[in-house]
Amino acid sequence: MKAQGHTLLEALLVLALLSILGAAGGVALATQGPGLTFLPAELRAAVDQAFLLARARGGDVRLALGGPGGDVAPVVLPRGLRWGLPGAGVPVPPGLRQPRRAHLTGAAHPVVTVTPRGTATGTAWYLTDGRDAVYVGLTGRGEVHVRRWRASRWAWADT
């Protein structure tokens, strides 16, 4: 009697093929700035990591996403991305005030503090690929808001 089912090798081959197709499909869907598509998740993860570290330590943790100076490793930008907005004419996201320097340097506060109680120094981070941009805002209550500027639509959209 022949055993029914699949071998481990067959299952691994199918999973490998599906993962290759999934990765290719993800890049194909994000043809305009794939780095900007995946980077907000990394920024949110860095903020979450800082909050977990603050709770574990029982003390404040410094977060510097754009470089050294923090207790959490900085986010490494993919090639072609830089901190700041793409250029003149791009408005700040609706409902936000014009930041004093975030639109040029990429961060309103380069180093922020998060506490074990779930509060944080409010800040705004901007990243661009020269055409589109991503805004990541951290509120004083520790909430993370992400919006994406799409030059092709000339509008900000929540992500």
Does 11 fall in a domain?
Answer: no
- Asked if 93 contacts 147 with a C-beta cutoff of 8 angstroms, the reply is yes
- Asked if 151 contacts 134 with a C-beta cutoff of 8 angstroms, the reply is no
pLDDT tens for each residue of 118-137: 999 888 888 888 888 888 88
Does 26 fall in a domain?
Answer: no
- 121: containing domain: 33-158
Number of folded domains in the chain? 1
CATH number assigned to the domain comprising residue 109:
3.55.40
- Asked if 95 contacts 156 with a C-beta cutoff of 8 angstroms, the reply is no
Averaged over successive runs of 10 residues, the pLDDT of the chain (159 residues) comes to: 70 76 62 71 87 92 79 80 78 77 61 90 84 88 90 87
Does 28 fall in a domain?
Answer: no
Instruction: Calculate what percentage of the chain has a pLDDT beyond 90.
Output: 14
pLDDT tens for each residue of 107-119: 666 788 999 999 9
- Asked if 83 contacts 106 with a C-beta cutoff of 8 angstroms, the reply is yes
Does 91 fall in a domain?
Answer: yes
Q: Is the pTM of this model over 0.85?
A: no
Does 88 fall in a domain?
Answer: yes
Does 21 fall in a domain?
Answer: no
- Cα dihedral: 149, 157, 40, 72 (round 10): 90
Q: What is the pLDDT of residue 51?
A: 92
d(CA 96, CA 123): 11
Does 22 fall in a domain?
Answer: no
